[in-house]
Amino acid sequence: MAETTARELKLIQYLNEAYGKERQLEPVLTLQITLAKSLDRKTIADRLQEHLKETRGQAKALERRIKQLGGKAQTGPDLPGPDLASNAVGALTAVANQALSAAKGPVQALRGTSPNDNLLRNLRDSYWNEAEEIAHYHVIEAVAEQLGDKDTVKLAKDHRRQEERMQAFIEKQIPIVVKEVIKAEVPKEDRPQTTTRRRSSSSGTSSRSRSTSSRAKTKTAASRSTSSSRSKSTTSRSRAKAKS
């Protein structure tokens, strides 16, 4: 087997860090699916399930690419690399993955002041995790582009798009779940919704009517000025006639 070059080692290093992240997220997603299901959140559970499938696929694709480049996919310090070069990569990856294990893990799936608050916190973490994955793939894409590795560029782009789609989904779910949290945890009398809605709708109307009335005022002022300038010009014309 040909010796692994510094170029390949660099690519393997970043690919392995993304691999570690994807593998770390598999149990997190599994727990989040269970939670979403227990709350009858079918839309969220289904999307998480779909993303779990994507995540597993990404891990496999990363593993494949790392192997093609002469390395070995690793998630932690316990897995030895195939040779000295890959061990060097493995050591770097180990540091990265130790940091990752301190990140948002399964324990995070079990907290909160109510089931929906728990779900909301998990969605917040998921958003955060997607952002981290997107960052990984941006880095990989740039490294691969500058090192002329088209296959890795394509892989990074494909994975990044999947993460971005997932992140956009989470973003849309946040206000929906927030509504449920407020409903469950803030007594009706402490919620401003009804008054706010009435106020905002009435303020909407009043601002509309204000703007209508201001438009009317402007029109009136404009017509006043037109008519006054018209009458002025009429006066000056009659004065001129009188003089002649």
Q: Taking Cα atoms as reference points, which of 91, 60, 94 lies closest to residue 75?
A: 94
| 8 vs 163 by CB, closer to Fe ion | 163
Q: In the bound complex, what is the minimum distance in angstroms from residue 27's beta carbon to Fe ion? A: 13
CA dist 169 and 157 (Å) reads 18
Q: Taking Cα atoms as reference points, which of 63, 87, 62, 89 lies closest to residue 7?
A: 89
Q: In the bound complex, what is the minimum distance in angstroms from residue 76's beta carbon to Fe ion? A: 20
Q: How many residues bind Fe ion (CB under 5 A)?
A: 2
Chain residue at closest Cβ approach to Fe ion = 163
x-or-dash string of contact with Fe ion, 121-150, rule CB under 5 A: ------------x-----------------
As given in the structure block, the two tokens for residue 106 are 């399964």
Q: Taking Cα atoms as reference points, which of 96, 89, 82 lies closest to residue 10?
A: 89
The residues in 78-117 that bind Fe ion, with binding defined as CB under 5 A, are: none
| 62 vs 85 by CB, closer to Fe ion | 62
Residues 6+ apart with CB under 8 A from 98: 76, 77
CA dist 74 and 178 (Å) reads 38
Q: In the bound complex, what is the minimum distance in angstroms from residue 119's beta carbon to Fe ion? A: 18
Residue 149 vs residues 1, 88, 101: alpha-carbon distances, Å:
19, 21, 29
| 24 vs 116 by CB, closer to Fe ion | 24
Instruction: Tell me the Ramachandran region of residue 70: left when phi exceeds 0, alpha when psi lies from -120 to 50, beta otherwise.
Output: left
What radius of gyration do the chain's Cα atoms show? 31
| 13 vs 55 by CB, closer to Fe ion | 55
Q: In the bound complex, what is the minimum distance in angstroms from residue 54's beta carbon to Fe ion? A: 7
| 4 vs 58 by CB, closer to Fe ion | 58
Q: In the bound complex, what is the minimum distance in angstroms from residue 49's beta carbon to Fe ion? A: 13
x-or-dash string of contact with Fe ion, 164-193, rule CB under 5 A: ------------------------------
From the centroid of its chain, how far is CA 57?
21
| 18 vs 89 by CB, closer to Fe ion | 18
**Rule CB under 5 A: is residue 163 a binding residue for Fe ion?**
yes
Binding site for Fe ion (CB under 5 A): 133, 163
